Amino acid sequence: MTDFTTPSLRRRLSSMLYESMLLFGVLFMSGWLFSTLLQQRHALYLRHALEAWLFLVLAAYFIWFWTHGGQTLAMKTWRFRLTDREGRPVGLWRAALRFLLAWLWVLPGLALASAVRGQHWMLILIPAANIFFWALTCRLDPQGQFLHDRLAGTRLVDVSAVRTPALPEAGDKS
């Protein structure tokens, strides 16, 4: 029997922090490649194209890892995997939907900060409050999943808690 234990909130947030450090390098190199190939000499030149490029790089990174083993590098380190609700591997469209829904961690807070013309600390506090309240959505779910996982039909499973039947040893006759 397979156990679908959900990783703790602390482990999931720690994994996100680790993932962000790994993604810094990925996005840095992607931005450098874009700037070099398109000879971007000023930060505002092709700014929107660069933003779209980096968004696509992020999408490719997450969707590829989620559909090829269900784990990004940080998820492997923290020992959990992304599956569908029944524990099967995630397909392309479900992974893409989860990626888009995960942007709800930050976009509403940024939009609200912009709508109220937030300045100085408000540009940090409003998005931070959005992240805090989004993280608390796992407390409302019976299995402890985040809201974007519930909406996408996915779940995070603790790999260290998964029980699989033991294989008989070579000398076993049973």
Confidence band (pLDDT; 50, 70, 90) for 41?
A: confident
Tell me which residue of 135, 52, 143, 65 sits closest to 99, measured CA to CA: 65
Report the percent of the chain where pLDDT is more than 70: 90
- Please tell me the predicted confidence (pLDDT) of residue 150: 92
In the predicted model, what is the mean pLDDT of residues 13-32? 95
* Predicted pLDDT of residue 156: 92
Per-residue pLDDT at 168: 57
Look up the pTM and report it. 0.83
Provide the pLDDT confidence category of residue 93 given band limits of 50, 70 and 90: very high
- Report the alpha-carbon angle 52-111-40, nearest 5: 30
Q: What is the pLDDT, as a whole number, of residue 163?
A: 57
pLDDT (mean) for 38-60 = 89
| Interval 112-166: pLDDT, tens | 888 888 778 888 888 899 889 988 888 988 888 999 999 999 999 998 865 555 5
* Cα–Cα nearest to 158, from 148, 145, 147: 145
Q: Identify the band that residue 1 occupies on the pLDDT scale cut at 50, 70 and 90.
A: very low
Of residues 172 and 26, the one with the higher pLDDT is: 26
Task: Please give the pLDDT value at position 114.
Answer: 84
CB 66 within 8 A of CB 82: yes
| Over residues 51-72, mean pLDDT | 96
Exposed, middle or buried: residue 86 (CB in 10 Å: 0-12, 13-18, 19+)?
exposed
